[in-house]
């Protein structure tokens, strides 16, 4: 089973008690990914919420007329894959291992069960995802401003 400390380091579980972390440990899984390995493919149905325990992951997207571009680099403590689990929509970007990395994950069914079965856990988890979404929306909006300026040169 995954070590408690590994999960505690992730921003999603910062407010979790040891007992709550243990409930997550029961349903979480883990694995190592070598450099360049595709973890999630853009357009595919997302089936897992991933947490980066160590290493880095590159988020890439198909840009019209330009091919594949890296739009974000994520590191230990970050998570991804949650949008597809929440919306049941296809994955909006691909994620690759950038160097060797170690990931933890919760699959769709286990995520749904966690949220449905324990209200305090569910609310903490949802609030943490919401705060991360807020940050991502702000970052993306700020990038629009800089890209707009760059596009004028």
Partner 1 sequence: MEEKIKILERCDLFRRLPPEALAAAAERCEGRAAKEGEVILVEGKPADAIYILATGKVDCIKQVEEKRGLVVSRWQAGAAFGLSSVMDGQEQYVSVVAKTPVKYLKLPVVDFWAVCAEDPHYEHGVYRQTLLIQSVALRQVTVRLREFLAKIIK
User: What is the smallest separation between the CB atom of 111 and partner 1, expressed in angstroms?
Assistant: 12
CB 122 within 8 A of CB 6: no
| Three-point CA angle 101, 99, 143, nearest 5° | 95
| 100 membership: H or E segment, kind and range | strand 94-107
User: What is the smallest separation between the CB atom of 71 and partner 1, expressed in angstroms?
Assistant: 8
Q: How far apart are CA 146 and CA 153, in angstroms?
A: 12
Tokens of 96: 């690759």
Residue (1 or 141) nearer to partner 1, CB? 141
User: What is the smallest separation between the CB atom of 114 and partner 1, expressed in angstroms?
Assistant: 13
User: What is the smallest separation between the CB atom of 78 and partner 1, expressed in angstroms?
Assistant: 15
The residues binding partner 1 (CB under 8 A) are 61, 63-66, 69, 71, 83, 86-87, 89, 92, 119-120, 122-123, 126-127, 129-131, 133-138, 140-145, 147-151
CB 16 within 8 A of CB 5: no
Residue (26 or 122) nearer to partner 1, CB? 122
């Amino acid at each position: 089973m995954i070590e408690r400390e590994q999960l505690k380091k992730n921003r999603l579980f910062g407010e979790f008690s040891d007992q709550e972390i243990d409930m997550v440990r029961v349903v979480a899984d883990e694995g190592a990914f070598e450099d360049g390995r595709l973890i999630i493919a853009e357009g595919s149905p997302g089936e897992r919420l991933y947490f980066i325990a160590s290493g880095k992951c590159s988020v890439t997207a198909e840009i019209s007329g330009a091919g594949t571009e890296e739009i974000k680099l994520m590191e230990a403590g970050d998570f991804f894959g949650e949008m597809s689990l929440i919306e049941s929509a296809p994955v909006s970007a691909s994620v690759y291992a950038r160097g060797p990395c170690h990931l933890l994950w919760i699959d769709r069914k286990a995520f749904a069960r966690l949220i449905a079965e324990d209200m305090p856990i569910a609310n903490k988890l949802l609030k943490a995802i919401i705060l991360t979404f807020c940050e991502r929306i702000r970052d993306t909006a700020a990038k629009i401003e800089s890209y707009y300026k760059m596009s004028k040169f």
